[in-house]
Amino acid sequence: MTIARGALMLVEIAPPIFDVDLDIAYASDRNFTGKPVYARPGCYLHPDAAAYFKTAIALAQAVNLRFKVFDAFRPAEAQGILWEHTPDPDFLADPKRGSPHSMGAAIDLTLVDANGVELDMGTGFDDFTPRAHHGSLDISSVAQRNRAVLLGLMTAAGWDFFRNEWWHYQLFHARTRYPVLADDALSQSMMGP
């Protein structure tokens, strides 16, 4: 697989243009590796994905909800680090195959209420167990309903979902439409010097 290098126009996902909360998990130790993967938090999407996300934001606002984003564009270098830590194809894309995150075509998120409180989704982000699957019956009915609302908002806005992770959405056919991007696709590195 070829990794595209050099600047590409990714769209920064941040207030005030995008009315979202950001909690970029891989820029902290609050992720499954237990340590920061990114040197700085950044949230970017391919322009196509950014347009779909604006639609999802509007749909959520219409029902008094907002999104909290855990991850979006993930440089190819970061995907390699995650895979080296946990090479589990049920939850992570093998870097040799390419991740839609590394194309700027995927986003990990949850819903928050008007006070910024996360809705109960039955598991946390990056819970690599069957309880994280869409349709899991091993969670409360409230969590099932909240997942269904998230799924409805994102799919109504044109996103595809990954059945093993309630938080993961991606553009349809991303692997055939977009190149895998390295950290140098950004004007300011997320991976550090």
Preceding peptide of 16 cis, ω within 30°: yes
Residue 77 is among the residues annotated as catalytic for this protein = no
Nearest to 186 by CA among 2, 4, 3, 9: 9
Bridge-partner residues for 161, per DSSP? 169
Structure tokens at 139: 């969670």
- All residues at 6 or more sequence positions from 160 whose CB lies less than 8 Å from its CB, including other chains: 169, 170, 171, 172
- Among 77, 84, 118, 165, the one annotated catalytic: 165
The size of the chain, in residues, is 193
The 3-state DSSP composition of the chain as helix, strand, coil percent (nearest 5) reads 30, 15, 55
Residue 110 DSSP SS3: strand
| AA identity, residue 95 | P
The residues that are catalytic are 165
